[in-house]
Amino acid sequence: MIYVTGDTHGDLSRFGFWRTRKIKRGDTLIVLGDFGFLWQGGEAEEKILRRLGKKRYHILFLDGAHENYDLLERYPIEEWNGAKIRRISGNLCHLCRGQVIALEDKRLFVMGGGESDEKEFRAVQAKWFPQEMPTPEEIESARQSLKQAGGKVDFVLSHICSDRLKVFLGLAGESHPLGQFFTELEKSLSFQKWFFASLHLDKPIPPKHQCVYQQILPLL
């Protein structure tokens, strides 16, 4: 089974036994951005990453708006299940942007990235990273991945939602290239369901979207 959850922000309790008891050996849990366990660096953090990598199930995560990208980018990229990943430790991996990954006979399009609401505040504290937003080259690479997939996937996983959906939900905020790209995909891409997490809500948005935060949900 494949499960998704929202922003963990370095909270180990999300992976506690009572939260994950339904997840079996060999299953997959995907965190939809703002993972938070790669932040300070150092031995204490490395110990936690090794602990997560030893779970009986795979933990995969997208990058979000609150990541230490300088630390993340130190890990080399490798190929796994037809997509580019960074293996952090054992069963713990980062899903690179714009990839179509094959898991359990399903094709998942994954696209991390987002824009921090506290950019100026975080920049003063040296906790803001310009890599949080995908480059035009990354967005174009994502388009090519979807073209190779024939414009059809089973699920879309992202950290933020489209500009169109943001307007539908009555949310303020400026338009940006990633949100525009997602609006484009909602019109052109064939998919069963789209999961995202940045709103910190557990809320289905019919007919095809699901915002996830603290829940752990199966894809189907």
- % pLDDT > 90, the chain: 84
Would the pTM of this model clear 0.85, i.e. be above it? yes
d(CA 164, CA 156): 16
What single string gives the DSSP state of each residue in 150-178?
A: TTB-SEEEESS--HHHHHHTT------HH
Neighbours of 85 (CB within 10 A): 19
Give the pLDDT confidence of 152-162 residue by residue, as tens digits.
999 999 999 99
Give the pLDDT confidence of 112-136 residue by residue, as tens digits.
998 766 554 444 345 656 778 899 9
SS3 101: strand
The CATH number of residue 104's host domain is 3.60.21
Residues 6+ away with beta carbon under 8 Å from 215: 5, 6, 202
Residue range of the domain that includes 171: 2-218
Look at the chain and report how many structural domains it folds into: 1
pLDDT at residue number 123: 41
